[in-house]
Structure 1
Amino acid sequence: MFRVEVHTDEDVSGDDLLGDWGSSAARTEAGGVGALDLGALQERAIQIHDLYDQLNRRQRGRVWRRDEFMLGFVGDVGDLAKLVMAEEGARDMPGGREALEHEIADCLWSVLILARCYDVDLCSAFLRTMSELDTAISAQLAKPGEPASTGAPSDRAETG
């Protein structure tokens, strides 16, 4: 199961962060940190998607197509790139850290919606991709004649 931790600078519970939705989401809490599983994030993303559909029907007489969600995502990634540059001191952008967090969350929302639109099991795809990357990177890092480490805990030397 994937878990996303929500860290805050303030002493707030997951319910405060998530409003009414937080009480029904699959999560655990531990002193100012709430954890959401990927299914709960997808559920919430779909709720917002459905609200956008209602708004677009009212304002435009139609909903966004799948390709339009992708184009929206590209726009969000562009906005995120500018905010990252601002965070690194390479440009001026209004909004600061709050705007950066907002754009990262927007990008996550887009990924969750695109996965749904294209019927992608995001958990399986993520785990499979990370395993493939682990294998490929480990193979490149291995010295000639030495087996590649998989990065799994059993392959790491214990210290301490």
Structure 2
Amino acid sequence: MAGGWTGICFGQEGSNIPTRTQVVQKFRQLGITRVRLYHTYQSTLQAFSNSGIQLTVGITNADIVKALSNVGSATSWVDPRQAGSCYVLFNIVAVTVGNEVFTSTANNLKNALLPSMKNLREALNQARNSGIKVTTAHAFDVVTNTFPPSSGQF
């Protein structure tokens, strides 16, 4: 595959897991150049700093409504002086807004998704970071007719 790359998702829930620094070292040994984080914990971002690994960070479902309810709140999230949003200091290339929102039973969350993404996009543009992608992640069950893949429908 031309221009392909390998990435991995990194979560921190579990027992007996290695330290963040050990994880970053292992990723580098394995040649992993892109990682998705489900959060913006400062200690995790710090472990990835200067690693050469591109990050996609997540805004949790719980934070969508309050962190991105308008452009002003999204700007506060984007502000590099905020503890959870130091994207400027790290190799952040994308932000996922929520995780599997459409499988949630909370209608306010579903209704907030697109406006929240637009607010974040505007805040990033205002901060002159238009190169950072804004996206969301969905469970595969939002697709029907999965085979062959070309017949899939949302």
User: Is the pair's TM-score, using the shorter chain for normalization, greater than 0.5?
Assistant: no
In our comparison, the structure showing a higher alpha carbon Rg is 1
Shorter-chain TM-score range: under 0.3
Would you tell me which structure has more helix in proportion to its own residues? 1
Would you tell me which structure has more strand in proportion to its own residues? 2
| TM-score in terms of structure 2 length | 0.27
